């Protein structure tokens, strides 16, 4: 804890309280996503719920095929459809803006978060049904009109992927790819930085609209039209400056040179830094990082992790960090949710889950460290694989692999429930026969290990 604002918050006993009272930045509620396949409906995400709070890093961990990527992509409505179907649930997102009192550094007014909620446009902050009485703008990402979603995508929510090679456009130099994000979402600030105002401002809505289609054309329109032409050099310089700044933040060597390179001229680690620069250029409220280091070698992996953590602290954004590696998630996240076969099976503070894992699956994940996984992300320590989720029957989805499985596990779905403390787990080992409504002899016990 070297962060002065947070330390101060702790010392005076609860500046963070304002942030705590706030509705979470994002709430996933009973999310269901299915795929139509020849074999039937694959229930890839099947009733998943979790919150992401202001400024926190939440880890989502589980083996390959558990539904992590599909969950993450639903935030930006990027699940391919067809064959994907949004079968139910909500992904609620509450956009933030920079705190004007402290300029983002963290103060009493923003509860140390550096960001404050934007007011619900319907009730203007007094509370209504649309914002669940919170007064905060609340967007259901699965239902919001495409136009509003485009404003959120890459701006309030940004995503980095496992394979930056695929996410970057091979035909465009780095500068142009980052500039595109700035053109679309930060045109006004861009003009301000270039020292261009008023008269040129009328061009901005046009520029933005065009930029959504093609940034090259947009740039030409802006620069080719008076009074744009007059300002073209200044605008070009402002873009270059901003892009270089974003790259420099990722501590990439030689940002000015990288900026003029094409993706194929960069190493994997550098490409991932470019992706991070692009994602953070607009200072998003939420960064979704889906296995961002899996394709990198171990030393570079460690540096990228450190970088994400550092940038998260500086920008005060929230992070959804996805990985199949529990040890790694424990390093970067405050809380963790363990996902198995389309469900969350356990969640809690990372340290607690790591120290005292409760679900047999989480225990298996931990036992798999340090040999962890083979190159395809399969676990070595738990036998078997994630089941095919075609029309699943009521049962614990882990039963075929669980050393404690008993008859109840094969016929009843264990609910995700907190028992002793704030540590929800979905396993009958933590439930009584009465709670489950099952025969005592059909319940699993720790002694009943196979
Ligand atoms: N395009 C698709 N078509 C059919 N099934 C898919 C598709 N994408 C994902 N799935 C299914 O969803 C499950 C979860 O996938 P995914 O979210 O990528 O897992 P993870 O990221 O945890 O490895 C997969 O096991 C697969 O069965
Ligand atoms: S004991 Fe039963 S409910 Fe718990 S994980 Fe094993 S199979 Fe599932
Ligand atoms: Mg994935
Ligand atoms: Zn503030
Ligand atoms: Zn409202």
pLDDT score recorded for residue 215: 53
Ligand 2 neighbour 404 (Cβ under 6 A): yes
The DSSP annotation for 159-224 comes to EE-S-HHHHS-TTS-HHHHHHHHHHHH-HHHHHHHTT--GGGGGGHHHHHHHHHH-HHHHHHHHHH
What's the rounded Cα separation, in Å, for the pair 120 and 130?
8
pLDDT at residue 298 above 90? no
pLDDT score recorded for residue 9: 35
* Residues with Cβ–ion distance below 5 A, ligand 3: 69
317 C-alpha to ligand 4 centroid (Å) = 14
pLDDT score recorded for residue 11: 37
261 C-alpha to ligand 3 centroid (Å) = 29
Q: How far is CA 266 from CA 107, 137, 191, in A?
A: 40, 40, 30
pLDDT score recorded for residue 12: 37
What mean pLDDT do residues 54-61 have? Answer: 95
Nearest atom in ligand 2 to the alpha carbon of residue 409 is 2
Percentage above 70 pLDDT, the chain: 85
Structure tokens given for 82: 């067809």
What mean pLDDT do residues 269-292 have? Answer: 92
Nearest atom in ligand 1 to the alpha carbon of residue 342 is 14
What's the rounded Cα separation, in Å, for the pair 220 and 228?
9
Whether the CA torsion 289, 291, 296, 297 is positive or negative: it is positive
pLDDT score recorded for residue 274: 94
pLDDT score recorded for residue 1: 35
Higher pLDDT, 11 or 266: 266
Structure tokens given for 71: 């969950």
Structure tokens given for 395: 């049962």
Q: Please, are residues 321 and 329 in contact by the beta-carbon 8 Å criterion?
A: yes
What's the rounded Cα separation, in Å, for the pair 19 and 28?
19
Report pLDDT digits (tens) over 130-159. Answer: 888 889 999 999 999 999 999 899 899 999
Higher pLDDT, 242 or 205: 242
Least confident of 56-65, 375-384, 399-408, 417-426: 375-384
Nearest atom in ligand 2 to the alpha carbon of residue 414 is 3
| Dihedral class, residue 125 (left if φ above 0, else alpha if ψ from -120 to 50, else beta) | left
Ligand 2 neighbour 31 (Cβ under 6 A): no
119 C-alpha to ligand 5 centroid (Å) = 8
pLDDT score recorded for residue 408: 97
67 C-alpha to ligand 1 centroid (Å) = 6
Which one of 62, 359, 395, 402 would you pick to mutate in the ligand 2 pocket, going by the greatest count of ligand atoms within 8 A of its CB?
402
286 C-alpha to ligand 4 centroid (Å) = 18
What's the rounded Cα separation, in Å, for the pair 319 and 158?
10
Q: Please, are residues 296 and 288 in contact by the beta-carbon 8 Å criterion?
A: no
109 C-alpha to ligand 3 centroid (Å) = 38
What mean pLDDT do residues 292-307 have? Answer: 86
Nearest atom in ligand 2 to the alpha carbon of residue 404 is 1
The answer, yes or no, to whether the previous bond of 286 is cis (omega within 30 of 0) is no
Mean pLDDT over the full length of the chain: 85
Q: What is the pTM of this model?
A: 0.88
C-alpha 252, offset from chain centre: 23
Other C-beta atoms closer than 10 Å to the C-beta of 51 total 17
Q: Please, are residues 172 and 151 in contact by the beta-carbon 8 Å criterion?
A: no
Least confident of 10-24, 170-184, 238-252, 407-421: 10-24
Residues 6+ apart with CB under 8 A from 157: 75, 76, 93, 284, 285, 286, 287, 288
Q: How far is CA 365 from CA 69, 202, 218, 291, 362, in A?
A: 18, 56, 49, 16, 5
262 C-alpha to ligand 5 centroid (Å) = 46
Helix, strand, coil percentages (3-state) for the chain, rounded to 5, are 40, 20, 40
Instruction: Give the ligand at the shortest distance from the Cα of 125.
Output: 5
Other C-beta atoms closer than 10 Å to the C-beta of 312 total 20
Angle at 235 between CA 190 and CA 105, to 5 degrees: 30
Give the residues surrounding ligand 1 with Cβ less than 6 Å away: 35, 37, 42, 44, 62, 64-70, 80, 83
pLDDT at residue 409 above 90? yes
Residues 6+ apart with CB under 8 A from 312: 57, 287, 318, 319
What's the rounded Cα separation, in Å, for the pair 425 and 231?
59
pLDDT score recorded for residue 226: 58
Counting Cα atoms < 13 Å in the Cβ hemisphere of 183 gives 28
pLDDT at residue 288 above 80? yes
pLDDT at residue 204 above 90? no
Report pLDDT digits (tens) over 309-360. Answer: 998 988 889 999 999 999 889 989 999 999 999 999 999 999 999 999 999 9
pLDDT score recorded for residue 368: 73
With cut-offs at 50, 70 and 90, classify the pLDDT of residue 123. Answer: very high
Structure tokens given for 368: 């798999």
Which one of 398, 411, 416 would you pick to mutate in the ligand 2 pocket, going by the greatest count of ligand atoms within 8 A of its CB?
398
Nearest atom in ligand 2 to the alpha carbon of residue 403 is 6
Candidate ranges 73-87, 223-237, 362-376; pick with highest mean pLDDT: 73-87
Q: Please, are residues 352 and 338 in contact by the beta-carbon 8 Å criterion?
A: no
Ligand 2 neighbour 398 (Cβ under 6 A): yes
Q: Please, are residues 390 and 379 in contact by the beta-carbon 8 Å criterion?
A: no
């Amino acid at each position: 804890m070297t962060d002065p604002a947070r330390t101060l918050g702790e010392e005076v006993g609860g500046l963070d309280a304002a942030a705590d009272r706030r509705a979470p930045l994002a709430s996933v509620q009973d999310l269901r996503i299915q795929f139509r396949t020849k074999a039937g409906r694959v229930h890839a995400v099947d009733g998943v719920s979790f919150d992401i709070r202001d400024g926190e890093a939440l880890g989502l961990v589980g083996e390959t095929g558990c539904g992590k990527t599909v969950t993450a992509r639903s935030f930006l409505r990027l699940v391919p459809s067809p064959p994907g179907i949004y079968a139910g649930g909500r992904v609620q997102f509450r956009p933030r803006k920079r705190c004007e009192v402290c300029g983002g550094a963290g103060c009493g007014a923003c509860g140390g978060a550096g960001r404050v909620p934007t007011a619900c446009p319907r009730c203007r902050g007094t509370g209504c049904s649309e914002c669940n009485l919170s007064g905060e703008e609340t967007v259901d990402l699965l239902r919001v009109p495409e136009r509003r979603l485009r404003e959120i995508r890459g701006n309030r929510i940004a995503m980095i992927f496992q394979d930056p090679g695929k996410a970057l456009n091979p035909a465009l130099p780095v500068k142009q790819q980052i500039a595109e994000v700035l053109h679309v979402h930060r045109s006004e600030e861009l003009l301000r930085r270039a020292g261009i105002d008023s008269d040129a401002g009328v061009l901005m809505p046009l520029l933005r609209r065009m930029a959504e289609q093609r940034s090259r054309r947009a740039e030409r329109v802006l620069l080719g039209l008076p009074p744009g032409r007059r300002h073209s050099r200044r605008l070009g310089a402002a873009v270059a400056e901003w892009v270089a700044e974003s790259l420099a933040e990722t501590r990439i060597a030689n940002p000015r040179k990288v900026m003029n390179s094409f993706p194929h001229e960069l190493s994997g680690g550098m490409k991932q830094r470019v992706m991070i620069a692009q994602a953070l250029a607009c200072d998003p409220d939420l960064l979704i990082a889906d296995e961002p280091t899996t394709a990198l070698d171990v030393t570079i992996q460690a540096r990228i992790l450190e970088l994400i953590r550092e940038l998260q602290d500086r920008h005060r954004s929230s992070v959804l960090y996805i990985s199949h590696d529990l040890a790694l998630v424990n390093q970067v996240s405050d809380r963790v949710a363990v996902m198995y076969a389309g469900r969350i099976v356990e969640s809690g503070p990372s340290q607690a889950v790591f120290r005292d894992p409760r679900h047999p699956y989480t225990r298996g994940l931990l036992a798999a460290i340090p040999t962890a996984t083979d190159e395809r992300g399969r676990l070595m320590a738990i036998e078997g694989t994630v089941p095919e989720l075609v029309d699943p029957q009521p049962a614990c989805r882990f039963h075929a692999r669980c050393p404690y499985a008993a008859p109840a596990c094969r016929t009843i779905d264990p609910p995700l429930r907190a028992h002793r403390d704030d540590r929800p787990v979905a396993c009958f080992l933590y439930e009584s026969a009465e709670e489950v409504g099952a025969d005592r002899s059909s319940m699993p016990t720790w002694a009943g290990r196979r």
